[in-house]
Amino acid sequence: MKGFGTHPAKQIALLIWVIFFILHHPRTDAQVVVRPSLGLQSMAFIGDPPATNSMSPGIERELPLGGGLSGAQTGVRLQFEAFSPKNDMLRLPISFEYFTLNGKTTFFLSSFQSTRKQRLTFTHEAQVATAGIGLTASFFDVPSLYLTGELKGVYFFETDLSSRIFYADNNETVESFTGHPSPEEFRVGGFVKLGTQLAFFEPFLLDFNVGVGTLNMLLKDTDPETQRNLLVADPTRHDPEQTLSYFSLGMTIVWKL
């Protein structure tokens, strides 16, 4: 996980440690209950942002110079939800997510008459970490229905791009290249989800949710000299940064402390 030792990652790790310390050293007169949960969360970009466009070996502006990150990507979600045992309708969730994003685009380089066919493959890998705080309105008892809104700090790690020209018949590499087109970035995003919690076995609940969010709602780069779209493979273009909105499905296991 490249870049995990950077300053924002250390802050997230420290905050997780503090929360675990509180959970393992509860006060007998505590007026707040904290429930941790851990599970999977998906991310599929909505619309046609540059991050989902195919990667291209050309430099012409009409060619798709995107990130190839199409389809659903899977991440891990850790959450701590605090509420009063006297009134658990309103809850305060603190969440941490880590997504690995992978894209691939392949081109056929040889003509139809060539005896040995050559192909060019671009592989693009990215990591995104988020830390969020929000408000949840919970309705009914188990099975429950809830609505959550979150404000997120979003950290984009440096991306990895590799290209390889190879023969299709024996996978022999002709030429290869590896680079890091997108630097580390920080943005502010948001997330809204609707979910339900079902009884599993004591002391656990199953949580299923569906939601929509954005990774760069605030703090976009607007300087014409430096602005660029996030999670793209081409490092030279300075197009206005587009909003990265996404659709998400999640499943977590909640521990009823």
String of DSSP letters for 187-254: EEEEEEEEEEEEE-STTEEEEEEEEEEEEEEE-----TTT---TT-S-SS--PPPPP-EEEEEEEEEE
Task: Using DSSP, state whether 24 is helix, strand or coil.
Answer: helix
Over residues 137-196, the pLDDT tens digits come to: 988 777 889 999 999 999 999 999 888 888 888 888 888 888 888 889 999 999 999 999
The CA dihedral of 182, 73, 133, 15, to the nearest 10 degrees, is -70
Cis peptide before 203 (omega within 30 of 0): yes
Q: Of the given ranges (26-35, 109-118, 193-202, 238-247), which has the lowest mean pLDDT?
A: 26-35
Distance CA 7, CA 9 (A): 5
**CATH code of domain 7-255:** 2.40.160.20
Cis peptide before 143 (omega within 30 of 0): yes
Q: Using the 8-state DSSP alphabet, how is residue 170 labeled?
A: T
Q: What is the mean pLDDT of the chain?
A: 84
Distance CA 109, CA 183 (A): 30
Task: Using DSSP, state whether 114 is helix, strand or coil.
Answer: coil
Distance CA 14, CA 10 (A): 6
Tokens of 70: 């199409």
> pLDDT: is 10 or 200 the higher one?
200
Distance CA 166, CA 173 (A): 4
Q: What pLDDT is recorded for position 101?
A: 95
Over residues 11-69, the pLDDT tens digits come to: 555 555 555 554 455 444 558 889 999 999 999 999 889 899 888 765 554 455 788 89
Mean pLDDT value of segment 94-121: 86
**pTM for the predicted model, two decimal places:** 0.81
